[in-house]
């Protein structure tokens, strides 16, 4: 069953109006407005649909901690961005997404750049559309340039009505 696009989807559909050579740049502007903090570390938006979001982070000295490893905060931002984008592609216009809980378990050192891929099942997307509020765990996998998964993550997102009734 097809559903009408939400606000983020409608914004991205306007990319067709931009000249081809500008579409990547315009998409970055749209997505950085949706997730402004991503610009602080240089998150790149590699792929986005209602079922899947892929974001990347190139290795850079400014992202490393005192041990020379990728800072955990940068890894967290990457994984949160992927999960938030796939939620953003599915949340109803009358709702606001909110990160409720996040956990990261570092398994090994990350080598090189990182990629985070978040996936939402069709059942999860349908449930979001059917309920004005709720929460769900979004699957996300973070891999480094060697293909290893240096971190195990869980992100639980909630959505609530965008405007609350005024209390008397």
Is 40 within a domain?
yes
For residue 72, give the nearest of 48, 118, 80, 44 by alpha carbon.
80
Is 54 within a domain?
yes
Is 168 within a domain?
no
Of 141 and 72, the structure prediction assigns the larger pLDDT to 141
| pLDDT band, residue 1 (cuts 50/70/90) | very low
Is 166 within a domain?
no
* Greatest Cα pair distance in the chain: 58
Domain count, the chain: 1
12, pLDDT greater than 90: no
What does the pLDDT look like over 27-43, one tens digit per residue?
666 666 666 666 667 78
Q: Which domain holds residue 135?
A: 7-161
Is 111 within a domain?
yes
Is 1 within a domain?
no
Q: What percent of the chain has pLDDT above 90?
A: 51
For residue 82, give the nearest of 164, 137, 13, 139 by alpha carbon.
139
The per-residue pLDDT for 114 is: 95
The per-residue pLDDT for 168 is: 53
The per-residue pLDDT for 43 is: 81
Q: What is the CATH number of the domain that holds 94?
A: 3.10.129.10
In whole angstroms, what is the distance from residue 154 CA to residue 145 CA? Answer: 21
> Cα 55 vs. chain centroid, distance in angstroms?
7
């Amino acid at each position: 069953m097809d559903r009408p696009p939400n606000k983020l989807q409608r914004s991205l559909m306007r990319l067709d109006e931009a000249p081809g050579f500008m579409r990547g740049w315009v998409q970055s502007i749209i997505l950085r407005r949706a997730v402004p903090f991503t610009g602080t570390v240089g998150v790149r938006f590699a792929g986005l649909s209602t079922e899947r979001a892929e974001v990347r982070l190139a290795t850079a000295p400014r992202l490393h901690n005192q041990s020379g490893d990728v800072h955990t905060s940068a890894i967290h931002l990457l994984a949160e961005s992927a999960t938030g984008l796939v939620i953003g592609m599915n949340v109803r216009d009358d709702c606001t997404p909110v990160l409720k809980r996040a956990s990261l378990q570092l398994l090994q050192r990350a080598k090189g750049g990182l990629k985070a891929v978040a996936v939402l099942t069709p059942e999860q997307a349908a449930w979001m559309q059917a309920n004005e509020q709720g929460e769900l765990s979004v699957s996300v996998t973070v891999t480094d340039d060697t293909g290893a998964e240096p971190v195990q993550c869980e992100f639980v997102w909630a959505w609530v009505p965008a405007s609350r009734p005024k209390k008397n």
